[in-house]
Amino acid sequence: MASPRKFFVGGNWKMNGDKAAIDGIISFMKTGPLSPNTEVVVGCPQCYLMYTREHMPANIGIAAQNCYKVAKGAFTGEISPAMVKDCGCEWVILGHSERRNVFGEPDQLISEKVGHALEAGLKVIPCIGEKLEDREGNRTQEVVFAQMKALLPNISDWSRVVLAYEPVWAIGTGKTASPEQAQEVHADLRQWLRDNVNAEVAESTRIIYGGSVSAGNCQELAKKGDIDGFLVGGAALKPDFVQIINARG
């Protein structure tokens, strides 16, 4: 049975690219062809938000890769949701494993950021996921459920949330959760939403997978009933990204 949820593919460029490289990405995105059945968003460095929005086709959303939890103030180096919107962009990626594990952002701060971004009118891709020692210690559920519990009080509008499950051990390592492993966690997360929010949110919220997604493995992952798309890192910088966008046809 076809999922009622629209397939969603996000590209996270991370700290990569310059205008010339972005022009190259825009070129292969325009050439496509991109499936009309997939919603596509790319997350670019904040200094290129306006450039990317101005040059990327209008049907592709542009996301900031981070933002702060208040509208303005003495927070050197930060960017607010209002600034993201002023650049013409509608999305933000929050709580990515690199923000958590490289920059030390705790669950509570990520939750506050998500709350403020939603209040300010952005659509949000909150990221959750376990480290290798958690996976090997059979603590995957414990970790991702704790991250979800922290997010919950600040999510005011689930219709503007796309949840990204990214096992930290599979990001940029070449290791990918098997389609079965990914589906299992996605199904657990959907059940968690059913138990802790409501059945409607559980059915309608898109849960996407991130972690070494490639043109080679995307179709198998896309066949799983609770995997509603992908958040792609390195592959989003290459023409292969088009195949990933079209993984479900």
Q: What is the pLDDT of residues 81-115, one digit of tens each?
A: 999 999 999 999 999 999 999 999 999 999 999 99
**Residues whose CB falls within 8 Å of the CB of residue 202, separated by 6 or more in sequence, listed in order:** 190, 191, 193, 194
Tracing tokens 């179709």 back to the chain, one arrives at 219
Residue range 7-245 in CATH 3.40.1390.10: no
Going by C-alpha positions, the residue among 208, 193, 199 that lies closest to residue 248 is 208
DSSP string, 146-189: HHHHHHGGG---GGGBEEEE--GGGSSSS----HHHHHHHHHHH
Q: How far does Cα 88 stand from its chain's mean position? A: 19
Q: Where are the domains of the chain?
A: 7-245
Is pLDDT above 90 for 3?
no
- Enter the pTM of the model: 0.97
Q: Are 80 and 68 in contact (CB under 8 A)?
A: yes
- Quick check: is 96 catalytic? yes
Question: Tens digits of per-residue pLDDT, 30-75?
Answer: 999 999 999 999 999 999 999 999 999 999 999 999 999 999 999 9
Contact 56, 23 (CB under 8 A): no
Q: Measured between alpha carbons, how far is 105 from 237 in angstroms, rounded to an integer?
A: 26
The reply to whether 112 belongs to the active site is: no
> Average of pLDDT values for 128-136?
95
110 closest CA partner among 124, 131, 130: 124
**Phi, psi (degrees; rounded to nearest 5) at 184:** -60, -45
Task: List, for residues 190-225, the tens digit of each pLDDT value.
Answer: 999 999 999 999 999 999 999 999 999 999 999 999
Q: How confident is the model at residue 2 (pLDDT cuts 50, 70, 90)?
A: low
Catalytic residue among 96, 112, 116, 186: 96
The single residue of 112, 116, 166, 186 carrying the catalytic annotation is 166
Q: Is the pLDDT of residue 247 over 70?
A: yes
Q: What pLDDT, in 10s, does the model give residues 150-196?
A: 999 999 999 999 999 999 999 878 887 899 999 999 999 999 999 99
pLDDT of residue 40: 98
Cβ contacts of residue 111 below 8 Å, gap of 6+?
A: 150, 151, 152, 153, 154
Amino acid residing at 149: K
The model's pLDDT over 225-240, given as tens digits with 9 standing for 90+, comes to 999 999 999 999 999 9
Cβ-Cβ contacts under 8 Å for 54 (sequence gap 6 or more): 88
4-15 core/surface letters (b: 16 or more CB in 10 A; e: else): ebebbbbbbbbe
Q: How confident is the model at residue 4 (pLDDT cuts 50, 70, 90)?
A: confident
The alpha helices in the chain, defined as continuous H runs, are 19-31, 49-55, 81-86, 97-101, 107-119, 132-136, 140-151, 179-196, 199-204, 218-222, 240-245
Q: Is the peptide bond before 57 cis (omega within 30 degrees of 0)?
A: no
